[in-house]
Structure 1
């Protein structure tokens, strides 16, 4: 009974947090852009996060989401604000500032999870899926700045992988821990953030291209590993 009560409490908190997240993303987008398109783009962030990470809630062993996961949800609002600005006339420094804030919160939620002992498979999945959304948004912004359509490959990589795993089940197999993945993600995000700065066109394109290559290469490493196994 106690376990059932704990699960119910967690689900209620997750549902309430999800509703607050949707409202917060919409409000931030409305304030940032004042356009229905901006609100729609921002709303896709919590929807995508719920679809991709929501099923993993059962893997969370604690009765509450915990501080680290709440920080991750705050990060989702920042990412949604960034998404709402795609296609809008916005100073590049504003995009860089928002992206940097999201990146800092990514670092912070990991530190808090380890420090408070609230790390869980659900938290890891939530963080990973938000990273994927963040990379997609950054790559879309880079395309909007004229850095080349091909850099969107970094943002699409995760979703192509998941889709391919439904066709070829061996791609959906669990991968062993690899320090390269978080390193590649961090470096790729840093390079994409750099491409948002008001730099010469060639410099921005090189940074965005390098970020895309690092991230796509990480997926290719995993692809080769699973193929050989």
Structure 2
């Protein structure tokens, strides 16, 4: 039943249900291939259920005309991230097949540059798409940091946790919710985290070199957050500029200016 002239709830929900089904299929394939244990299965299933529930809630609130091609790409990335999450959870039981984990992660990172281009070319940029893309990116970095921390130390968790700490701080410091100006440096630093964590997780470099690379990634991320926080603090009493929201929004764009998922 359509809720209005442009929003077909049933059609949109079918898309998210299909995404959940593909996620379950991927988990089944992984489970069969590597003999995944209970931790991997439960974590993967929890990820699939949470993604489906949160995405449906966001779609009901934003009421888009359709799910859209760009969101389909992002949902595909989320499916791969769900597979990576299951493998990382299972890695605490036994060593996962590194090639499989690296392969899923690499495809997810490559597709990160696709959904935004698809959105612009099809004229389907939206606040929901930007938020969906951002959350998938942030969660992948968090999962990778957990995996790399097992070999490098708990300090690596700071990479994955930093964005969530920023969001939590914004709840108590409203000026952190002000829009940030576009920044190539911010995008570059964000992309660097995934690449470095992927290389670190692959274990192809000597341990000291890997440690140095991950430390450099953390240092650049700390600098990027610090620079943005300083800018927000300096300009907090100025009128907030109006920024267009696109599917290539930086991973730390303020939470309250976009549709909450």
Query: What TM-score comes out, normalization by structure 2 length?
Result: 0.75
Aligned to 2:82: 80
1:185 to 190, 198, 209: 190
Task: Give the secondary structure class of the aligned counterpart of 2:181.
Answer: coil
**1:90 aligns to what SS in structure 2?**
coil
Matched, 1:109 2:115: yes
> Residue 108 of structure 1: CA displacement?
1.7
Distance 1:96 1:133, change over 3 A: same
Question: Aligned in 2, Cα 1:227/1:156: closer, same or farther, shift over 3 Å?
Answer: same
The aligned residue for residue 40 of structure 1 is: 42
Structure 1 residues 48 and 218 mapped into 2: Cα distance closer, same or farther (>3 Å)?
Answer: farther
Contact 1:195 1:203 in 2 (8 A): no
In 2: Cα distance, 1:122 partner to 1:187 partner: 24
- Number of the residue aligned with 2:6: 6
Matched, 1:176 2:176: no
Gaps of 5+ in 1: none
Change (3 A) 1:220 1:42: farther
Q: Deviations over 1:169-191 (max 9, x none)?
A: 12222223222222111122111
Please say if residues 170 and 177 of structure 2, whose CA atoms lie closer than 8 Å, have aligned partners that are also in contact.
yes
Contact in 1 for aligned 2:141/2:159 (Cα 8 Å) = yes
Contact 1:45 1:76 in 2 (8 A): no
What's the CA shift for 1:65?
1.5
2:13 to 9, 15, 25: 15
Deviation, 1:48, is: 5.8
- Counterpart CA distance in 1 for 2:109 and 2:38 is 26
Aligned counterparts, 1:124-203, within 5 A: 124-144=130-150, 146-198=151-203, 199-203=205-209
Residue 63 of structure 1 corresponds to 65
Cα shift at 1:50: 5.5
Q: Which runs of 5 or more residues in structure 2 are unaligned?
A: 236-261
Report what 1:96 is aligned to: 102
Rounded to whole Å, the distance in 2 between the matches of 1:41 and 1:85 is: 9
- Asked if the contact 1:45–1:79 (Cα under 8 Å) also holds between the matched residues in 2, the reply is no
**Normalising by structure 1, what TM-score?**
0.85
Larger-Rg structure: 2
CA displacement at 1:97 relative to structure 2: 1.5
